[in-house]
Amino acid sequence: MLSMKKHIPNLITLGNLFCGTIATIFAVQSEFKSAALFVVLGIVLDFFDGFAARLLKVSGELGKQLDSLADMVTSGVVPGIIMYHLLNSSEIIEMKSSTNNEAIWELISVDTGFIKFLGLLLTLGACYRLAKFNIDTRQSDSFIGLPTPAMSLFIISLPLIQEYTTFEFIQHLISNYYFLIVITLLLTYLMNAELPLFSLKFKNYNFKNNVMKYFFLITSLVLLLTLKYTAVPVIILFYVVLSLISNYRKKTTV
C-alpha cells in the first residue's frame, strides 16, 4: 500500500508534463486558446502534486526533480513559443504628421528577423529559475523571484486578451513590438531576481494569520469576474506589488 501511495504525486506530476506537451503542440500551431487551456490544467496538477505529497507524507527528492522538469515544459517552453509568435506578428507604432499639423499614430508591420527569438528568453529564464529553486533552501514557505507558473499565465493570457478585448488600445499595445520586448525582459528578470514573494500555501486557515493571502485571492476573483482574460496580467502584477508592500512593512517593523 505504501509503495502505491508514493507514486500518486509523481503520476499527478506526469499529468502536468502531459498537459504541457499538448500545450506545446498547440502553441507551435498558434492555437493559443487550446494551449492556454492545457497550460492551466498543467498548473492545477502542479499544485495538486505537492498537495498530494504532503497529504500522503511521501515527499522526496525524485518528486522535487520531476516537478521542475514538468514545469519546464508547461511553464517554460510554452510561454517562450507564444512570445515568439507574438513578436513574429508584432507591429511598430509610428507617428506621422498630417497636412493640418496634427499627429497621426499609425501601426506598421515590422520584420522582426532574429529579434523574434528573444521570446525564448522566457524559456531560458524559467529553466535557470527552476534549477535554482531545486537547490535553494529558502523557498519552502515563500518564493524568491516570480514563480514560473505565474510568468506562464501572464504570457498565455496576452493573445487571448488581444483577441477578445473590446479596447483597441489594449489590442494595439499587445501588438506592439517594443511592449512585447519589455515584457519579455521584465518577466525574465523577475523570475530570477532576489525578490521575496509570498506563497499561497496555507499552514492553517486562520484568517488573522493569512490576511494578505485571503485579500489577494478575493481581489483576484473579483478581477477575473469583471475583467476576464485581461485580469490575468493585472493579478500577476498585483501579486508582485502586494509582496513588495509586505516586504517593506516587515522591514519597517523590525
Most confident of 96-110, 130-144, 150-164: 150-164
Tell me the DSSP string of 174-185.
HHBHHHHHHHHH
Mean pLDDT computed over 74-80: 96
The pLDDT, as a whole number, for residue 71 is 94
Mean pLDDT computed over 110-114: 65
Residues 6+ apart with CB under 8 A from 123: 76, 77, 79, 80, 81
Number of domains in the chain: 1
**What tens digit of pLDDT does each residue of 176-224 get?**
888 999 999 999 999 999 999 988 776 666 667 678 888 999 999 999 9
In DSSP terms, 176 is beta-bridged to 91
Residues 6+ apart with CB under 8 A from 246: 198, 212
Q: Is the pLDDT of residue 102 over 60?
A: no
**Euclidean distance between CA atoms 123 and 73, whole angstroms:** 9
Which residue range is the domain that position 187 belongs to? 2-253
CATH number at residue 57: 1.20.120.1760
Q: How many CA atoms lie within 13 A of 97 on its CB side?
A: 3
Average pLDDT, the chain: 85
DSSP classification of residue 7: T
The pLDDT, as a whole number, for residue 95 is 47
**What tens digit of pLDDT does each residue of 143-188 get?**
889 999 999 999 999 999 999 988 888 888 898 888 999 999 999 9
Tell me the DSSP string of 102-137.
-EEEEEEE---GGGGGGGGHHHHHHHHHHHHHHH-G
Q: Classify burial at 53, counting beta carbons within 10 Å of its beta carbon; exposed 0-12, middle 13-18, buried 19 or more.
A: buried
Q: State the pTM of this model.
A: 0.86
Higher pLDDT, 83 or 246: 83
